[in-house]
Structure 1
């Protein structure tokens, strides 16, 4: 098992190689080796191919035409078809002179949705990630395990073979009714797997055997599917900048109907409805600014009620650094009081929390509130420090290689110390600290491992540029650069307080 040791980051409009601090290899929180993933997907008795888990009668991976013919997947296909239709209609109405379609000759290249149901493509297991750090959402299931599949052309000679779409099959880490396995047991299994020396089939067998970290993965534990695809991209031209749009959706498994149903996305704020419905907007403001909820919001563990949420997200890259240009908070916060929140609303809420003895770690200003409002959402998080619109593109298991590294985003790598800290606490029977920092900047708990790297304060790190002769924003004052580096402007927005660490 390996974590990425190097990557190509598409970071807020900068497309350049970025040196990343080496994360602990084999830290027991992810399965990323191509040879092991190939063996796990095609395992004779416990195959982790997508089709095998959705239809236990299947013993081998199947192409997409057969996959989307499964009754469980019918609603997924219908919802994605509707999303394409809506996207095309909306953008053609907005930009009637811009040609949007599949293939050469169009200003905007649309994702070829034929590949979703093509016999020459399938979703290939590209990674397995331990997300027991999400046990705050469902403590009785000890969090989640995510199987990440990448859409890939399988026909010989196709270029490129891997397509810009991932499908995450999210499972409960354990059966809440199974008393034979505790959260501590499961955490220990994962952490104990770090030094396993086997490779390929031998390691796959060991991970799957009773007592192994993957032994609990069964179809009965399936909770939902999460899809993320690059629905369209606009190549750079003399008149237009490069842009890509990523569509994200969630489908929860309905056990009674044995189908996946389109569902609200966790913390994906429906800004359009909140802005259009004044009463709903006020209800959201009052709920989020209540001291108890504001504390959870600051910690990154808030769970926003479903009535305020959307069923899809459209995230665009590149985006700028300033919170005012990031979705979805743009329009929700308005200093003149025309949005859902005003600066005064936020300042009053912070003062009220402080008067009740509630210490906030991240949100100490309206700007910090705005940035957190963006990065708790699915779309906002994927806009920040991602590889394009992805945080875990996964291993290319069809390439002719027995070993390899996995491209993972700076956000993913930077969050690993926090995730490992939580899993270790669970193993040791201690109370876990589920809080997290901003997507831009890891928490200080990873300082020793990440210091001097682009993940924290090294070259290319996100940093804060206080205004001359001004008061530093308390939300970002700790976003400094390592010795020899200075926080400098990136892009054309000279007014932005957020920059990147570069050589002085």
Structure 2
């Protein structure tokens, strides 16, 4: 081979390999930036969701897409209302600041051509058919396109490009086979041995537009953040706005959030709350299985989800706010798989609400972040673009797809959203893998309320990180025992409690109650010290 051509050939091979991906078994997630860029430019961009041709800069969309304009105005109103509420509660917020003060989303990012919503993921959710059947919808589940707010502009001759914690999820229904089944639709997500998961394979197969019908646009956006220098005990706080929009041409609608109760309205309406309790009692097996649809009359159309220690925060436990376990004490739990006590039922319902799932097993408030494209600085790149929850979910979804493609009945059971991966061998059993280092776990007193759950992997013990007033279940992780010789930098080291503020969650207060690792008084080469939350590490962090 001509030596001058060798580097060029190597480069071409590398580019080709980077733009395609091999898959073993059903494809559940597409996150390859090159493949997604091709889809983005080939009819699956955010502007295409809104029915707009041409440029997708956000000023252009705000001016030319009435639906986007209306959504931005609703979000701006939500953010303004939250800002006023927090100011009244003693927490002023600022768009632009370098101080240790609260920050709020600068709405100008949604109206500038320096920003766009970049396609960062395609997610196969055909398993959502289990939920759609409850409403008489015979579609074969959903396909989701994840768009993340990204910016790119030049300043002083230098390109500045990154992403912001603001996601839209465009949800499409997948058409059934000609016979009304889903064998063919599910099978299209498994490439043959000689096929690669590239844009051509996707658009000619599972993403063929004739088989997709737009359903709704879902929003998950971090709109408020308190830095760790201000929240020195929490190690920072953040608030996330969650909404669902219907789009019909230029018109939009505000849709209810699935299985997420409107706590403010229900707490003021005893009759409505009683009907919700009756629904839960009448649908107990479905709630236990995790496949249920609470009627719209009970549901919220907007929520704010709170972190840090989000899965422990009372504000993220809407059913705990509405009901006491004794309200469900008369129910019969003897035949259920997961829920064995009234306390477990309330936790199961909390975990199935948007804010419950959002905070349990997420990464910085998201289950799908996506990988960065080549414009992002190597000093600010995302290495893992999915959350622990999604990582654990993928085997379940693959098993569901494989069973459906073979014409078999899939296992419909949904674990708690912070459960570890499991082996899904048949339509009934769930065989959890041991939870690995730093994965969530249930303390023995909490696990006793449930049926089959999981254990920590060998060498780790379930260790509580935070408890919260008004919440029954502790936030715990599988961690090394005290004084373990296997200690490492990055291991949590502090436990504490949260004093919940039921009216103003942004005024929840965390206080340390103990230390369980990294006891060296000072930094050294050999012993680990516990670095405090104020440097941005909730729960502290072992370091040497």
In structure 2, the CA distance between the partners of 1:447 and 1:61, relative to structure 1 (3 Å rule), is: farther
1:264 maps to 256
- Is 2:88 the partner of 1:112? no
Compared CA separation, residues 100 and 284, structure 1 to 2 (3 A): same
The Cα of 1:434 is off from its aligned counterpart by 2.1
Name the residue aligned to 2:92: 99
CA distance in 1, matches of 2:376, 2:264: 47
Question: Using the alignment, how far apart are the partners of 2:274 and 2:391 within structure 1?
Answer: 37
CA contact (8 A) 2:57 2:113 kept: yes
1:447/1:368 CA distance change after superposition, 3 Å: farther
Q: Which residue of 2 aligns with 1:192?
A: 191
Structure 1 residues 198-250: Cα deviation after superposition (integer angstroms, max 9, x where no partner):
47xxx2122212xx1211467x7111100111001001236653100010110
- Is the contact between residue 216 and residue 244 of structure 2 (CA under 8 Å) also seen in structure 1? yes
Q: Trace 1:144-159 onto structure 2 (pairs within 5 A).
A: 144-156=142-154, 157=158, 159=160
CA pair 125-321 structure 1, distance change in 2 beyond 3 A: closer
Label 1:284 to 1:413 Cα distance change in 2 as closer, same or farther (>3 A). same
Q: Structure 2 residue aligned with 1:347, among 317, 323, 329?
A: 329
Q: How many angstroms does 1:388 deviate by?
A: 1.0
C-alpha distance 137-465 of structure 1, shift in aligned 2 (>3 A): closer
What's the TM-score, normalizing by structure 1? 0.79
Are residues 1:237 and 2:214 paired?
A: no
- The CA distance in 2 between the partners of 1:239 and 1:390, in whole Å, is 21
Q: Structure 1 residue 305: deviation in Å?
A: 0.6
**Structure 1 residue 76, shift from structure 2 partner:** 1.1
Partner of 1:466: 444
Is 1:88 the counterpart of 2:83 in the alignment?
Answer: yes
- Check conservation: 2:120, 2:147, Cα contact below 8 A: yes
Counterpart of 2:522 in structure 1 is none
CA distance in 2, matches of 1:386, 1:316: 12
Which residue number corresponds to residue 62 of structure 1?
A: 56
**Is residue 434 from structure 1 mapped to residue 412 from structure 2 by the alignment?**
yes
Instruction: Report what 2:507 is aligned to.
Output: none
Consecutive unaligned residues of structure 2, counting only runs of 5 or more, are 1-22, 482-544
Alignment-derived partner of residue 206 in structure 2: 213
Out of 259, 274, 289, the position equivalent to 1:299 is: 289
CA contact (8 A) 2:309 2:475 kept: no
Q: Matched residues in 2 for 1:37 and 1:323: separation?
A: 35
Q: Does 1:422 align with 2:400?
A: yes
Match of 1:165 in 2: 166
Instruction: Quote the offset at 1:75 in angstroms.
Output: 2.5
- 2 CA distance for matches of 1:391 and 1:235? 22
Distance 2:460 2:258 in 1: 37
1: CA distance, partners of 2:103 / 2:164 = 13
Seen in structure 2, the aligned counterparts of structure 1 residues 26 and 273 have a Cα distance that, compared at 3 Å, is same
Residue number in structure 1 paired with 2:531: none
Secondary structure of 2:423's partner? helix
Q: Is the counterpart of residue 284 in structure 1 residue 276 in structure 2?
A: yes
Q: Secondary structure at the match of 2:130?
A: coil
1:33-88 CA-partner distances (Å, limit 9, x unpaired): 11111111112xxx2111124226x2x45101122331232331221121112111
The question of whether the paired residues in 2 share the 8 Å contact of 1:385 and 1:411 is answered with: yes
Residue 228 (str. 1) matches residue 220 (str. 2) = yes
Q: Which moved more, 1:415-424 or 1:101-110?
A: 101-110
Paired with 1:217 and 1:394, the residues of 2 have a C-alpha distance of: 26
- 8 Å CA contact retained: 2:313, 2:468: no
CA 318–446 in structure 1, closer or farther in 2 if over 3 Å, else same: farther
Q: Identify the structure with bigger relative contact order (alpha carbons < 8 Å, sequence gap 6+).
A: 1
Q: What secondary structure is seen at the aligned counterpart in 2 of 1:137?
A: helix
1:160 to partner: Cα distance: 5.7
Specify whether residues 164 and 345 from structure 1 end up closer, same or farther in structure 2 by C-alpha distance, changes over 3 A only: same
Contact 1:321 1:499 (C-alpha < 8 Å) held by counterparts:
no
Name the count of aligned residue pairs.
Answer: 440
Provide the rounded CA distance (Å) in 1 between the counterparts of 2:440 and 2:476: 6
Q: Which has the larger radius of gyration?
A: 2
C-alpha distance after superposition, 1:79-133 (max 9, x if no partner):
11211121111111122xx321201147210011110111110001101000001
**Cα RMSD after superposing both structures:** 3.1
Q: The residue matched to 2:131 in structure 1 has which SS?
A: coil
* Structure 2 contact 152–161 (Cα < 8 Å) conserved: no
Instruction: State whether structure 2 residue 476 is matched by structure 1 residue 481.
Output: no
| Superposed displacement of residue 179, structure 1 | 2.6
CA-CA distance at 1:325 after TM superposition:
6.7
Q: Secondary structure at the match of 1:86?
A: helix
Paired position in structure 2 for 1:252: 246
Measure, in 2, the Cα distance between the counterparts of 1:497 and 1:52.
44
Secondary structure, counterpart of 1:285 in structure 2: helix
Question: Alpha-carbon deviation of 1:27?
Answer: 4.5
User: What secondary structure does 1:206 align onto?
Assistant: helix
Q: Is the 8 A contact 1:64 1:122 kept in 2?
A: yes
Pick from 361, 364, 369 the counterpart of residue 393 of structure 1. 369
Structure 1 residues 411-463: Cα deviation after superposition (integer angstroms, max 9, x where no partner): 00101111111111211112222220101114743599x9997xx52211222
1:306–1:278 Cα change, 3 Å: same
Alpha-carbon offset, residue 137 of structure 1:
2.6
Q: Which residue of 2 aligns with 1:369?
A: 345
What's the CA shift for 1:397?
Answer: 2.7
Verify: 1:503 aligned to 2:480, yes or no: yes
In the superposition, relative to structure 1, how do residues 489 and 25 fare at CA in structure 2: closer, same or farther (>3 Å)? farther
The secondary structure found in structure 2 opposite 1:418 is helix
Equivalent residues of 1:437, 1:443 under 8 A apart: no
Aligned-partner SS, 1:155: strand
Once the two structures are TM-superposed, the CA of residue 287 in structure 1 deviates from its matched residue by 1.3
